[in-house]
Chains A and B, each alone.
Chain A
Amino acid sequence: AQSVTQPDIHITVSEGASLELRCNYSYGATPYLFWYVQSPGQGLQLLLKYFSGDTLVQGIKGFEAEFKRSQSSFNLRKPSVHWSDAAEYFCAVGARTGGSYIPTFGRGTSLIVHP
């Protein structure tokens, strides 16, 4: 069965600092990978996704992620964090089940931004 591990429950950074959120997945086939962001009390918003092709993908709000098959990782990065980036971040893998791709999410990483 597929799984997603986000090893960091909380990450604290200063505004303007760079950010990297870690994500490792376990899946026996070509993974479809996603990063979502959730503001308090809200639903999830898609930041970026990887299906195939270039392993460095660009997303919204200045985020990017790099797929590394050899490390089974899909880490999310941002060069300069803004206070508004404080939120919960979820990594997910879409695993093929029959003719559909069912998403499994990690437990999330809470990003705290200090002024």
Chain B
Amino acid sequence: SQTIHQWPATLVQPVGSPLSLECTVEGTSNPNLYWYRQAAGRGLQLLFYSIGIDQISSEVPQNLSASRPQDRQFILSSKKLLLSDSGFYLCAWSVKGYPGGDGYTFGSGTRLTVV
């Protein structure tokens, strides 16, 4: 069966420090991958999605970047964190094309607090 791993679960970082959040998927190949940010009262904001290695689309201009060094690995990064980067970050995956029976599957999230 497919599983998605996201880490760390919690992170406290000072302003101006770098960031690296990692997400990996097991049990499938060539998935679509997504990064979302959830801020209080603002729902889920799509940050990046990737349909393949080195194929990454950015949805919102921001202080963040994403990379996909391997087929099932998706990394969210920042060179210098801002206070406004605080939030709950969720990684998700889906099969190519038609979402299929399972739709979009989410990781358990990373709570990032920038201080």
Contacts and interface: CB of A to CB of B under 8 A. Distances in A.
A binds B: yes
Contact of B46 (A36, A98, A102): A102
A53 to B, nearest CB: 13
Given A90-B44, A107-B42, A46 B90 contact: no
A103 B41 CA distance: 19
Contacts of A41: 88, 109, 111
Interface residues of B, number: 29
Contacts, number: 74
B97 interface: yes
Contact of A44 (B46, B49, B98, B106): B106
A73 to B, nearest CB: 18
A9 B41 contact: yes
A105 B43 contact: yes
Interface of A: 6, 9, 32, 34, 36, 41-46, 49, 51, 90, 92, 94, 98-108
Which 4 A-B pairs give the minimum distances between C-beta atoms?
A107-B43, A43-B106, A105-B44, A44-B106
Interface of B: 6, 32, 34, 36, 41-44, 46, 49, 51, 88, 90, 92, 94, 96-99, 101-109, 111
